[in-house]
Amino acid sequence: MTEERRLIIDFAEMMESDRPGHSHGVIPELRGARLVSYDGKQAVYTFDPDKVKASELIKEAASSFEVEDILTHNASIEEIIARLYHALGI
């Protein structure tokens, strides 16, 4: 089982969702990554490093948006256990 990684991107401008009640959708979707959360300028993605390189995701994000900061790290044990429980329906 490959360990999922997180990619946290701080954008230069506020990000908004395309959900009802928001003015427009500007949070970038990155191929090979799943958007986990966003808060203003920061978006958090998860990705499988065996399927996509962090550098490819960063390049894709930076090609359309001004990026101020980037952080990657492995998922915490708590996140892994929570996903396992969810997958098992516990």
CATH of the domain at 54: 3.30.70
- Nearest Cα residue to 5 out of 81, 74, 84, 78: 74
What's the domain range around 22?
Answer: 5-88
Output the pTM of the full model: 0.74
**Domains identified in the chain, total number:** 1
Q: For the chain of 90 residues, list the mean pLDDT of each consecutive stretch of 10.
A: 84 67 62 91 92 95 91 83 85
A 10 A CB-CB count for 84 gives 10
Look at residue 4 in the predicted model and tell me its pLDDT: 85
